[in-house]
A and B are shown apart, each in its own frame.
Chain A
Amino acid sequence: MQPGTLRSRAVVLALMAPLLLFLLFFFAVPLFTMMKSAVSDPVASQALPQTAAAIRGWDKAGPPSPEITAAFVADIRNIEDDELFGDLVRRLNSAKAGFRTLMAKTRTAARETDGAVDLVSVDARWGDVAFWQAVASAAASPITDRNLLAALDLKRDAAGRIEVIPPERSANRATFMRTFWVSAVVTLACVLIGLPFAMVAASVQGWKRQLLLGAVLLPLWTSLLVRTAAWFILLQDNGPINSALMWLGVTESPIPMIFNRVGVIIAMTHVLLPFMVLPIFSVLIGIPKNLMPAAASLGAHPIRAFWRVLLPLSMRGVVSGSLLVFMTAIGYYITPELIGGAKDQMISSVIAYYAMGAANWGMAGALGLILLLATIILYTVYIRFSSEEEVRR
């Protein structure tokens, strides 16, 4: 095949097309849908189509015109779906408290007649412009930053300014901080164990190296669920680790290690350790064998040679491995979900709760978007870093 000819280009495109299309439909579109659900706000525009059209001309200061109130009454009358009505009430109530009772009253009144309804006589609150402002803002825009703000424990006050939600009412920031903290501790644990282990593995030959590498690869090959189940068994209050500790007299009563932070960190370190060892190992075996003897022959003490020669050279592997471990850790779901307690849930569990438990795809999407952004940023750094390495070689 001649490179660059039209025909070979067509062949390449034809080969590429099936996978690209597949990933477009079943990978890109789902991610896009997830992001869209984070910012879209279809409730009001679906429930209040006439109001949305009528309220556009309103100056948002004076009382609403009769056309607006008539359109609003007609919309309310037309909502058959109780679920949609409930969503609308929630949406309005989150903008201004008091809509819950107000909307129930208004709906009853609107359904009693087919003609015009004097809203202010139904409830005096309709005389308050603030309630109409809430209706206007809900009906006007199909997109909202409410979920994204809520994902960071922020909200807009009545005047539209961004303010912080007190921590006792929203825990998303705390969950993000916990996710990053646990991931950082796991990454550090992986460096502390993985770096010396990779150094030992690189310094030996033959069956010893095979054994050490095999020990790293075997867990990588074993199902994540099997590994998590194994830790579940080992860490139980009456499990082998506690039995051994009590038999040795280290402790009188079982040390709680499951359904808490300790268990999550131990199990995640075990699961992610191979991702640290392998990049460091591959960097180390690329280092010329005679560097350390050279340092020694120039009079460097072994510790000094280690500190000044081997450690700096292995840093690339450590950075690659750390990025890989940290990136994987922040998206982890299964291990913290099964080994952790209620206070150790990472952000993935919260996303899963919103999507599957609460059917709140707006919040699931917003939290997912932030997690996705964090992952993509880390991955970009990782790619930059490893391609730089390729060029240098």
Chain B
Amino acid sequence: MRPLGLLKGGFAALVVFFLIAPLIAILPLAFTDSVFLNYPIPHFSFRWFVELFTTDVWRRSIVNSLIVGSAATVLATVLGTLGALALRGKRMSFFFAAIRTVFLLPMVVPAVVLGVGMQLIFARWGLANSYLGVIIAHTVVGVPFVVVNVLAVLQSIDVRLEHAAASLGASPPTTLWQVTLPLALPGIVSGAVFAFATSLDEVVLTLFVAGPNQRTLARQMFSTIRENISPAIAAAAFVFIAGTILLALVLNLVQKARGASRPA
């Protein structure tokens, strides 16, 4: 068994390296003082972070990402939570299975295909090149994540808690507000985090519906890689990865809290 174990370990290590190394390789380049995005790094410097936060295009794109991301997250979380509440406990019937598939479909349709349609119809509706248009587009692709996460938590809630609330005289809205939603909160937060992350990373729909004033960070990174790659990309990637780790920590905390509050 020994050589087999070694083989297994070696193979796993190689795959882990393949998965992780590229993500790590880009980080030190954020601190280069050279104009080339390459190793070796001549001197350590913060110049590309300065560039990122002071140049007009970059700063504006970061602000845009935050505006669009927050608005799309709020919208997707409200709509997705309502949708998940409607689907709760109804997985078996054909009708609800179909509705659930519809709610998840934006995750499946190729972004370019949806982008062409949105470009055409948004131009007709006066939503092209507007913040509202970009926010709506990002909400459409973020909603499925909220539905999936909230639905998963709702499925695990003990229905007897709600029955208890109802038997103690709470009206359905009160039960929803005081019992169901607080219990579902971890799922709602996870869904919101996923929706925000999706919006931050969205490029394709943004290319189709946003004007020059709604350039998001991801969109700006896309055109920088395509047109004139510079270490500003590595600095942006650094910010992205730091943000991701922060979001993952939030999610982890929420899940810990959920584990602690779960009835034994």
A193 to B118, CA, bound (A): 37
Q: Smallest CB–CB gap between B124 and chain A, Å?
A: 8
**Residue in contact with A243 in the complex, picked from B39, B83, B119, B136, CB distance below 8 Å:** B39
B82 within 8 A of partner (CB): yes
Given contacts A211-B16, A218-B20, contact A233 B11 (CB under 8 A): no
Asked whether any CB of chain A lies closer than 8 Å to the CB of B108, the reply is: yes
Binds A, one of B50-58, B97-105, B181-189, B255-263: B97-105
Q: Is A159 among interface residues, defined by CB-CB distance under 8 A?
A: no
On whether A338 and B222 interact (CB within 8 A), knowing A27-B114, A31-B117, A383-B101, the answer reads yes
With A15-B83, A222-B23, A226-B237 in contact, do A355 and B119 touch (Cβ < 8 Å)? yes
Task: Contact check, B111 vs A196: say whether CB atoms are below 8 A apart.
Answer: no
Contacts of A31 in B (CB 8 A): 109, 113-114, 117
- With CB as the reference atom, state the residue of chain B lying closest to A34: B117
Task: Tally chain B residues at the interface, Cβ within 8 Å.
Answer: 74
Interface check A351, CB cutoff 8 A = yes
Please tell me which one of the listed residues A201, A327, A351 contacts residue B112 in the complex, with CB atoms under 8 A apart. A351
The verdict on B86 contacting chain A, using a C-beta distance below 8 Å, is yes
B109 contact from A302, A361, A364, A375, Cβ within 8 A = A375
State in angstroms the CA–CA spacing of A368 and B121 once bound together: 15
Chain B binding surface SS class:
helix
Q: Which residues of A have CB within 8 Å of B120?
A: 30, 33-34, 37, 361
In the complex, chain B residues whose CB is within 8 Å of the CB of A383: 101
* Interface check A23, CB cutoff 8 A: yes
Q: Is the CB of B240 within 8 A of A26?
A: no
Residue of A nearest to B26 (CB): A230
A to B CB contacts below 8 Å, 21 in the list? A18-B78, A18-B82, A18-B83, A19-B79, A30-B118, A30-B121, A31-B117, A34-B113, A37-B116, A200-B8, A201-B12, A219-B20, A225-B240, A229-B237, A230-B22, A230-B25, A230-B237, A239-B39, A331-B112, A368-B110, A368-B117
Contacts of A98 in B (CB 8 A): none
- 10 closest A-B pairs by beta carbon, nearest first, are A331-B110, A30-B117, A34-B117, A15-B86, A19-B83, A16-B86, A230-B22, A348-B112, A215-B16, A368-B113
A85 to B218 Cα, complex, angstroms: 39
The answer to whether B23 and A218 touch across the interface, beta carbons within 8 angstroms, is yes
**Once the chains bind, are A334 and B23 in contact (CB under 8 Å)?**
no
Which residues of A line the B interface, CB within 8 A?
1, 11-13, 15-16, 18-20, 22-23, 26-27, 29-34, 37, 193, 196-197, 200-201, 203, 211-212, 215-216, 218-219, 221-234, 236, 238-240, 243, 270, 273, 302, 327, 330-331, 333-334, 337-338, 348, 351-352, 355-356, 361, 364-365, 368, 371-372, 375-376, 379, 383
Residue B71 is within 8 A (CB to CB) of chain A in the complex:
no
Question: What is the CA–CA distance of A233 and B14 in the complex, to the nearest angstrom?
Answer: 20
Most chain A CB neighbours (cut-off 10 Å) among B11, B109, B137: B109
B19-A222 in contact (CB<8A): no
Q: Which residues of B contact A273 (CB under 8 A)?
A: 19
A338 with B110: in contact, given A18-B82, A30-B121, A33-B117 (CB under 8 Å)?
A: no
